Chain A
Amino acid sequence: MSELSRETDALLERGREGESLAPHDRARLKRALLAQVAGVSVVATTSTAAAWTTVAAKVIGVAVIVGSVGFGVATILPPRAPAVASHFSGEANAARSSPTKSATPAVPARAASLAIPTPAVSPPPSPPPASVANEMRSAARAPGTEPEVRAIPPAAAASSSLEEEARLLREADDALKAGEPDRALRVLEELAARFPESALAPERAAERVFALCMAGRQDDAREAAATFLRTQDVGPLAARVRASCGGASH
């Protein structure tokens, strides 16, 4: 039979919890992701600024993956399958024409789908089922950890402030791209006032440096850059701040 040996079991037991994401990486990944979800181009996931072209390409890739994922979800949620397929093929097309915006939260779509209560397909069985691995092990062995079958507890509007914040950051970004630094600065000021302890605070601060540069306020930019670099001295964002008019080399 294909039972695992005692030694292999011991190895699995020991290594199961052996990997963890360092808190620093966790925070960095989260900021990059939130910014990407918001469609804000000020952040780069990887260490080079050139990575943005690949990110844009990847977002197109997401649209393609979304199409194939749709099939899998459809098998789990049969009642909604047709709507799901058409909705996402449309979104995939939209993504192709505007890759950098394709990650924008689809608020109207979500609101629409919320209006139709989704029937529960397979409520978690009770009592909790044994994990298949333990189930297949010899009965003599003591049962392992309970499998985690968790439904997510209600989270009323957990992401609403985040979405609002992302929207404002994107607005500032758009203003900057349109060559309107003063408008960008006004929006960034509003952001700072409304969400002082934000997960996207570094992006906001960096964006402010760029806006001040564009507005020709070099002294202010230097000051803002110095403040930024005191807390964020590594990473792609720091590199871009250093390379700006507010950076030390200028």
Chain B
Amino acid sequence: MGDEPFPVTPGPTHHPLMFGAGSTPVAPRPLTVAAPGFEQIYDEHVEFVWRSIRRLGVDDGAVDDVLQLVFLVVHRRLSEFAGASSVRTWLFGILLRVVREHRRTLQRKSPHLRHGPKSDDELVQLPDLSPGANPEQALSRAEAAETINKLLGFLDDEKRAVFVMAELEQMTAVEIGEALGIDAKAVYSRLRAARTDFERAAAAMRRRTLGRSP
């Protein structure tokens, strides 16, 4: 009697979860890996966060403010980032929620504002830009990016987020699922639907452009 079922030897570098079942003890991960510096995350990912906010359809005038909010949340939650999953997945999950919250705030302030995917009627407002519209002069990268952002406006929020992560950031189904809290199967089905909508808008834009070409 008196024997403890488990030896109680707590120490700064000991934790039961540090050892895999039946395997040799793994050296504890240095704590610094679990807590990357805030500034480092900012420097490496600000560009990604910035363009993702734009791609999710936040107005130009509000992008800076939304970006600040995203990183304020990141700063507060830094200690929870385990360093095990992709930083970008984690960041995307945060920025999606901040963007959603931003929309809700706008809606409360101006209830007449409608947010949602543009209707097909609005396809005529798309710019006369598409690859092949003028084969001699290829679309510049900035113009292509602008066109993509306009086309994204024809997707609803859910599809838009999946499309941005998959097609523009080239993230994996697992990463996207993690960011959105859905399983990979749902990611595939949303992506298929998103592609259909995006393609329809892009095709309409091309038809219109070609119709005007000499």
A-to-B contact residues, CB < 8 Å:
1-5, 7-8, 10-12, 14-21, 25-26, 29-30, 32-34, 36-37, 45-46, 58-59, 61-62, 64-66, 68-69, 72-73, 75-77, 79-80, 84, 88, 91, 103, 105-106, 109-110, 113-125, 129-136, 144-145, 147-159, 162
Contacts and interface: CB of A to CB of B under 8 A. Distances in A.
A18 B202 contact: no
Interface in B4-41: 12, 15, 17-18, 28-41
Top 5 A-B residue pairs of the complex, sorted by shortest distance between their CB atoms: A158-B37, A18-B145, A15-B144, A18-B141, A152-B36
Contact of A61 (B105, B130, B139): B105
B202 A113 contact: no
Contacts of B178: 76, 122
Contacts of A156: 32
A88 to B, nearest CB: 8
A152 B89 CA distance: 13
A39 to B, nearest CB: 11
A24 B170 CA distance: 27
B80 interface: yes
A30 B46 CA distance: 9
A226 B176 CA distance: 51
Contact of A155 (B37, B94, B203, B206): B37
A144 B170 CA distance: 9
Contact of A11 (B80, B131, B172, B187): B131
B158 interface: no
Interface string B75-86: 111111011111
Main SS class of interface, B: helix
A25 B53 CA distance: 15
Given A8-B199, A29-B64, A119-B18, A131 B47 contact: no
B17 A79 contact: yes
A65 B69 contact: yes
Given A14-B131, A122-B85, A131 B170 contact: yes
A10 B131 contact: yes
Contact of B181 (A72, A77, A113, A152): A72
B41 to A, nearest CB: 7
Most buried by A among B50, B79, B148, B199: B79
Interface of B: 12, 15, 17-18, 28-44, 46-47, 50-51, 54, 64-65, 67-69, 71-73, 75-80, 82-88, 90, 93-94, 97-98, 101, 105, 130-132, 138-148, 166-168, 170-176, 178, 181, 187-188, 191-193, 195-196, 198-199, 202-203, 206
Contacts of B64: 25, 29, 45-46
5 contacts: A15-B141, A116-B15, A131-B172, A150-B87, A162-B38
Nearest to B36: A152
Contact of A66 (B12, B15, B73, B175): B73
Contacts, number: 267
A117 B34 CA distance: 8
B40 A36 contact: no
A117 B18 contact: yes
Contacts of A1: 192
Given A1-B192, A4-B198, A61-B101, 17 more contacts: A2-B195, A11-B131, A16-B168, A19-B142, A30-B42, A62-B76, A68-B97, A88-B76, A105-B75, A113-B80, A131-B166, A132-B176, A135-B172, A147-B171, A149-B175, A150-B88, A154-B32
